[in-house]
């Protein structure tokens, strides 16, 4: 991945100025698809058409508010959560989140929840508690589009996190440094913006932080109340003070904005400090309201420029959810969760506290093969796990596409927004034409043959290299 990264030297004012549709930079299916892929998990046919009609600002607002309230879905998920907490079933836990991603009217919220899950990467492999993991997931969702300062304070006391980074074991006189280190290195400041001494002092402030009755509990007798000097500030600091001190560092908004940039704008372009500065400053001045840097980036010239178009690799979640939402289907999410494991993203089980590296790390010979085979499973209607509920043939009929050109055009527009060479497009048309000739099993009806051709060509579109790029 490192060989693909280019340093971006741009005039910040120009880069962050708002995008306005023009003849040279029209608002079209490509840009609408780009926005939907980045902010959500990709759009279905109607959503994309609507977005083209409505324009970039209205579409962005619609995505950030959500298309409808989530109250009903919340209640449904809370009910399901209750039962799996009782049984401790981890497979159900993954399936529940995928269910949300597929059915929510507010996919932007789920996408940002996934971002925080990766940022504060906590794995159930060690936490081993479905209730804690779901609780942490809810915490991310609650603050996804809210305030980062509040999120940072609350995650420090989150039971899953307390277990994950050994804070519960940190005692007066023998502090455990794990949380203090990751808080600074990975969650708020980044390497180079603190010293080992800061970590050792900060670790003392988190002593006595325990869990009782499934919730955070402050055990005063195990807490080291003495004077500590952290990042130049001296006092009888407790954990909340350390979090506050981290938030006061100028490195903090820059660090978070860089991560948001990588997730929403580009994985191959590394912004200079100069470019990041205005966004980081706006973030800081707003007292860490997450929507501020997000909107600034998502409505900018830079966001809609060719420099950042398709400069990310889809995560397994983007890949799979994008296909199912695009096909307007319903699938059993237990099987889907299992499939995502093979693609290299086991929800609730990030490989380490650094999260998933993302970018080209998602693709190697094994994971790419699994992606292609998953695309087949979702489109062929032959896979017992997914059945007939994501049927490209039904989708084509629903949207009234008939001729070969219309069918290929439809799938290419839906899934690739037209990003395809003429040569490849011709290859797809050739396949459709020649598939008419068969041979076919004798017991297949005319309908069977037709459906087979449609499903096969949909699968072929999903195996194209462009589809891997976000």
Site residues (CB under 8 A) for other proteins, limited to 195-234? 196
Binding residue for other proteins, selected from 372, 387, 389, 397, defined by CB under 8 A: 372
Q: How far is the CB of 326 from other proteins (least distance, A)?
A: 18
**Measured distance CA(420)–CA(245) in Å, rounded:** 50
Q: How far is the CB of 268 from other proteins (least distance, A)?
A: 6
Residue 393 binds to other proteins (criterion: CB under 8 A): no
Residue 213: C-alpha distances to residues 53, 54, 217, 221, 263 (Å): 52, 50, 8, 18, 36
Residue 351 binds to other proteins (criterion: CB under 8 A): yes
Nearer to other proteins, 354 or 398 (CB): 354
Residue 64 binds to other proteins (criterion: CB under 8 A): no
Q: How far is the CB of 357 from other proteins (least distance, A)?
A: 6
Q: How far is the CB of 282 from other proteins (least distance, A)?
A: 28
Q: How far is the CB of 106 from other proteins (least distance, A)?
A: 28
Count residues near other proteins (CB under 8 A): 80
Binding residue for other proteins, selected from 264, 346, 390, 412, defined by CB under 8 A: 346
Site residues (CB under 8 A) for other proteins, limited to 136-195? 166, 169-171, 173-178, 181, 185, 191
Half-sphere exposure of residue 454, counting CA atoms within 13 Å on the CB side? 23
Residue 46 binds to other proteins (criterion: CB under 8 A): no
- Residue that is written with structure tokens 């952290």 in the block: 230
Nearer to other proteins, 24 or 422 (CB): 422
Binding residue for other proteins, selected from 92, 113, 315, 468, defined by CB under 8 A: 468
Q: How far is the CB of 368 from other proteins (least distance, A)?
A: 5
Residues 6 or more apart in contact with residue 50 via CB below 8 angstroms = 59
Phi-psi region of 2 (alpha: psi -120 to 50; beta: other; left: phi over 0): alpha
Phi then psi for residue 309, to 5 deg, are -70, 130
Nearer to other proteins, 110 or 182 (CB): 182
Query: Strand pairing of 215-218 and 209-212?
Result: antiparallel
Residue 382 binds to other proteins (criterion: CB under 8 A): yes
**Measured distance CA(368)–CA(296) in Å, rounded:** 34
Nearer to other proteins, 134 or 460 (CB): 460
Site residues (CB under 8 A) for other proteins, limited to 398-457? 419-424, 427-428, 431, 434-435, 438-441, 444, 449, 452, 455-456
Site residues (CB under 8 A) for other proteins, limited to 263-322? 267-268, 306, 309-313
End-to-end Cα, the chain, rounded Å: 15
**Measured distance CA(118)–CA(108) in Å, rounded:** 15
User: What DSSP letter does each residue of 81-124 carry, written as one string?
Assistant: HHHHHHHT-HHHHHHHHHHHHHH-S-HHHHHHHHHHHHHT---H
Nearer to other proteins, 107 or 271 (CB): 271
Residue 247 binds to other proteins (criterion: CB under 8 A): no
Binding residue for other proteins, selected from 4, 58, 78, 86, defined by CB under 8 A: 4
**Measured distance CA(275)–CA(279) in Å, rounded:** 8
Nearer to other proteins, 121 or 294 (CB): 121
Q: How far is the CB of 376 from other proteins (least distance, A)?
A: 5
Residue 352 binds to other proteins (criterion: CB under 8 A): yes
Nearer to other proteins, 74 or 419 (CB): 419
**Measured distance CA(196)–CA(210) in Å, rounded:** 24
User: What DSSP letter does each residue of 14-80 carry, written as one string?
Assistant: HHHSBP---SSS---HHHHHHHHHHHSS---HHHHHHHHHH-HHHHHHHHHH-SS--HHHHHHHHHH
Q: How far is the CB of 373 from other proteins (least distance, A)?
A: 5
Paired with 174 in beta bridges are 171
Query: How many CB atoms within 10 Å of residue 302?
Result: 22
């Amino acid at each position: 991945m490192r060989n693909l990264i280019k340093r971006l030297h741009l005039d910040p004012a120009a880069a962050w100025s708002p995008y306005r549709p023009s003849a040279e930079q029209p608002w079209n299916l490509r840009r609408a698809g780009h926005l939907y892929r980045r902010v959500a998990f990709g759009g279905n046919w109607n959503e994309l058409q609507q977005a083209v009609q409505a324009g970039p600002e209205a579409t962005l607002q619609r995505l950030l508010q959500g298309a409808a309230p989530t109250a009903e879905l919340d209640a449904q998920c809370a009910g399901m959560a209750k039962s799996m907490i009782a049984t401790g079933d981890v497979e159900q836990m993954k399936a529940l989140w995928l269910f949300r991603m597929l059915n929510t009217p507010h996919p932007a919220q789920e996408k940002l929840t996934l971002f925080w899950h990766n940022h504060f990467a906590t794995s159930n492999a060690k936490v081993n508690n479905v209730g804690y993991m779901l609780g942490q997931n809810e915490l991310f969702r609650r603050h996804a589009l809210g305030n980062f300062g509040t999120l940072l304070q609350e995650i420090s006391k989150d039971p899953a996190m307390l277990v994950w980074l050994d804070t519960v074991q940190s005692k007066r006189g023998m502090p455990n440094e794990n949380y203090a280190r990751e808080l600074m290195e990975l969650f708020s400041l980044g390497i180079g913006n603190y010293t080992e001494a800061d970590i050792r002092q900060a670790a003392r402030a988190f002593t006595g932080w325990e869990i009782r009755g499934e919730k955070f509990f402050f055990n005063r007798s195990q807490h080291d109340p003495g004077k500590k000097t952290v990042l130049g500030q001296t006092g009888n600091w407790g954990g909340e003070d350390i979090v506050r001190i981290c938030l006061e560092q100028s490195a903090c908004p820059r660090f978070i904005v860089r991560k948001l940039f990588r997730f929403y704008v580009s994985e191959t372009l590394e912004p200079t400090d100069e470019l990041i500065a205005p966004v980081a400053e706006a973030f800081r001045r707003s007292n860490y309201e997450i929507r501020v840097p997000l909107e600034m980036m998502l409505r900018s010239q830079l966001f809609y420029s060719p420099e950042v178009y398709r400069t990310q690799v889809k995560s397994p979640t983007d890949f799979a959810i994008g296909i199912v939402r695009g096909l307007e289907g319903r699938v059993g999410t237990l099987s889907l969760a299992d499939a995502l494991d093979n693609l290299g993203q086991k929800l609730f089980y990030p490989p380490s506290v650094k999260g998933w590296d993302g970018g080209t790390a998602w693709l190697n010979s094994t994971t790419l093969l699994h992606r292609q085979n998953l695309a087949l499973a979702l489109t062929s209607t032959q896979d017992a796990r997914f059945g007939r509920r994501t049927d490209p043939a039904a989708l084509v009929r629903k949207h009234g596409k008939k001729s070969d050109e219309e069918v290929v055009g439809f799938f290419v527009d839906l899934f690739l927004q037209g990003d395809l060479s003429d040569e490849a497009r011709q290859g797809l048309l050739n396949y459709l034409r020649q598939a008419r000739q068969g041979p076919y099993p004798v017991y297949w009806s005319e309908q069977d043959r037709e459906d087979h051709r449609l499903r096969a060509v949909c699968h072929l579109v999903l195996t194209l290299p462009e589809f891997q790029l976000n």
